[in-house]
Amino acid sequence: MAFTLIELLVVIGIIALLAALLLPALVKVKEKARGLASLSNVKQWGYAFHMYSDDFEEYFPYEGNAGTPIDAGFNLHAWYNVCTEYAGQPSLKNLYARGNPPVPGTKSLFTCPSVSIKLRATPTVATPFFMYGFNNRMDPNGANQFRRSQVLFPSQTVTYTENGENNFPSTSGRFTPARHSLRANLGFVDGHAEPVHTNDYFRSKMEDDNSAIEWSKPRKVYWYPFARAPQ
């Protein structure tokens, strides 16, 4: 049975309309899947930090320093090198040594599936690239490291989160990006992870710089382990 030209045009129009209706839904489903994959990555890092602190008298790992190569100095003891064994992953310094740095589009616990930017140059040990980061308010920068038992609200205090696409291995409530429908995937001291709306985790500069100000009112999420914790 042959179709007339008008019938073909009608069919084509219906197909185009259906595609226009379905495409946004498919995009949302795909992004939701990316968000869930990212949440799984954050959760695995949260477990790794928890196991690390079990083995090291409840101390949290070092956040890492963006001004030093990842395979030198104190960075040898940063989370991305010492917690990887608990997550069944090669250390970051070893991945870079193999010429296999985690970059957007690769499958790795270091890689957020929602990051799709094109890098201008291949990252190096001196200029690494991070999509996740340790909560640097849990590392007092040279003072004695915080211990898990010092955290007043373990289920509400962040250890690990998504990070801006840069060479910083840590972040805080002021700089954490909300990649998933105005939410960021956050890992917490008690080991769980969940997506949290930017309204609940974002901090102003004063709140971000001062634990007493952050703790001056009840929060759904805390970045500092306790009031008046050193930065």
pLDDT tens-place string over residues 134-160: 999 998 766 668 999 999 999 999 999
Q: From CA 151, how far away is CA 199, in angstroms rounded? A: 22
Neighbours of 177 (CB within 10 A): 17
Global pTM?
Answer: 0.86
Q: Which two tokens stand for residue 5?
A: 């030209």
pLDDT tens-place string over residues 55-113: 999 999 999 999 899 999 999 999 999 999 999 999 999 999 999 999 999 999 999 99
Where exactly are the structural domains of the chain?
A: 32-214
Residue 191 class from Cβ within 10 Å (0-12 exposed, 13-18 middle, 19+ buried)?
middle
Strands (E), the chain: 130-135, 158-166, 170-171, 183-188, 193-197
